[in-house]
Amino acid sequence: MKNYLVAETAIFDRKPTPPALQIGAGRVLVVEDSLDNQILLKAFLSKQNLEIETADNGLVGLEMALEHSFDLIFMDIQMPEMDGFEAVHKLRVAGYHGKIVALTAHAMKGDRERCLESGFDDYLCKPLSRYTLLECVSRYIFP
């Protein structure tokens, strides 16, 4: 339980949990090397009528995105095997046009620009607000 509380502060901020979205279903791929973050994101997004698949690194995420159909991809930046910048770049080169949002702990100046240049549609900083995450889901899956 303690580990989950530590991870909770890492992936989500401390704002209260928003009510579930009362909208249609969608398929989301979460590409994230932290198992704790995967579990927390999956638990939260599953309550929003979303079907969640997870990938442990950019290489697996790249393969899954090309083989299966997703309405939205959330992708961590720092990952083993292949980072988020490389994975999104390779996906765009391969002709992938789906929405991909970066999730990163790196709030450094210029990161947003680098994310957008690499091919991400948008960029969210950890710790995430659950409201911001839902707003992002609504914007990209159910516009």
Closer to Mn ion by CB, 33 or 71: give it.
Answer: 33
Closer to Mn ion by CB, 71 or 76: give it.
Answer: 76
DSSP E strands, the chain: 26-31, 50-55, 72-76, 100-104, 122-125
Kindly state the smallest distance separating residue 42's Cβ from Mn ion, in Å.
16
Query: What are the strands of the beta sheet with 100-104, ordered from one edge?
Result: 50-55, 26-31, 72-76, 100-104, 122-125
Closer to Mn ion by CB, 52 or 79: give it.
Answer: 79
DSSP β-bridge partners for residue 74 = 30, 101
Kindly state the smallest distance separating residue 33's Cβ from Mn ion, in Å.
4
Where do contacts with Mn ion occur on this chain (CB under 5 A)? Answer: 33, 76, 78-79
Kindly state the smallest distance separating residue 78's Cβ from Mn ion, in Å.
4
DSSP β-bridge partners for residue 120 = none
